[in-house]
Structure 1
């Protein structure tokens, strides 16, 4: 829902003030006509219009002063000359004060004066009229209208503030998502590149052909990473939908295996039948676990990725030999396993990590929609 801007709310308040001022001017004109344009009455009516002129000219006095300046001349005209039409000036003044006042005492005082005004002429010797009761109810209704206008204005401002907070939260969440995307992409790619370069350095003199192949793979991964980063950065500029992410677990594991890290994927069920959101989350978890294993596990030690897909959910277990240094829960910038736990929790899953015997284990459970998933089992080495 779009909420009015501050300028729009101020414009609506301005329009309401002009309407109130127009009603007061018309009532004063009718009162002058009823007095047969008595100069004294005209002067009192002009005095009663002074605060309204200030409102129109944006030189509005404080609200209590406005109430006194607008209602006092009406009181004099009705008491001295018994001109009932002038009460409409008081109705407009009371309604506007109720629409602008923040304190209950001012609204209560103006309400009492507005309701009592129609009954004052008989106290000054003027003939009592049944219309006094109607005027009293009319003034009370005018105050009620002012109170409702004030409540509407306050609700609009609150909705505008809530809308601004929601927009800020949405922008913050989008920044976090992009940061996670960049982290996952860069951490994975640089880890693979480091593995390739490390292997090339060790084989530089003894096996130039393998060294060249490793450096070629490192170059390829760097180019792919650069293309991926361009795609993520493009999300900041493009309004269109981004392309579906690459979520092939076999390709992911083979990338690390080609880089010299013994990696094995054991897949029970068909991961391709999972919803895209579940596949993407699973891919991120395996990617982060492989990157951590490559950084912290002893060189050359194997990593096992065991994924089981059933009708009710997906379970992924990534294990590697535990070294003296445990994987950090945070990656660079704080978007490692902690960020993954947030992502997994957002889709209703659970992610745990820690030592289990001689291995470091990352265990992820993700729910899937109820449905039949094809059954299959395969092992990739």
Structure 2
């Protein structure tokens, strides 16, 4: 029989329709078994030819019916021929042995035609079966008209009941498809609204913060040159240089935030070597050690690792003082990634630079939201930050191409 369209989502009406379809198929198989048992119980007619014909018709009719059940996705002409063959075999069986199960096979065929086939081929095959069934019933009946009307009423009722069930099934499938389409449309509209708001925030962030930091960096460069030309205190020039470095870092981070709002690639462990190299250029010695085999992380987990290392390096540059060194260690274990940043040495003189703003507390919250944990505290001769993030066992979808983010960042 024809397979009805299945819902795209699990649960709800789709599951109910699937259960109903399985129940219909189960009832069809039970009916098949009942017909076979009834044929055996009724016994064979007298005469070897009649007995052989009864067995052959029963086997042929049930075989065609089983073919239609198994090959529900077969072309309509094949299913029509199988159903019509079942009905005609039932009519012939009814002519050979009127008390036998032939009428049941006729009703089975009519139900299959009404439920599983389009209207035109179903009606044509049903008309052929009705003519054959009426001839078989009238052939050995004392009241041919009553016999024909009786078999026509029974077979016609089965066809109409199955046809109404098919209409209800198709209407249910259509309404389910419309509901799913409406839900998809609503989700697309909500996503478009979110993307629009993120785009607006990205533009505001770019136009206000990035431009402001860019102007600040230019002003600080002018202040540094002026301090050098006028012979000002070298400590003043150093403070201006540090402030200029923070302004440049702020511009880079602002551009990365804009890229994240635009749905581009988020920084993660793969970008840590570039971050460490940038930190080295600012004058802070940093080493990086990686143990284990790197594996994909969810974007939020990767971003938490990157931000934690970035914040720890910034704090070390601001607070560790002269002579400090930093060691960054990434350890990829079976189910976790551990990022550890340890600074040692230095005079621990705070140069009076402003705080980064986000802080380790905010990073700890970010890590907790992604299922990780961040610990920070003093060591014997410095400070240590340790972030532990879980590595999911399910594959992570491929991230967007970072080249696209870098290209847009360069043009912004």
Category of TM-score, reference length = shorter chain: 0.3 to 0.5
User: Comparing both chains, which one has the higher relative contact order based on Cα–Cα distances under 8 Å and sequence gaps of 6 or more?
Assistant: 1
Query: Could you tell me the TM-score, scaled by structure 1's length?
Result: 0.48
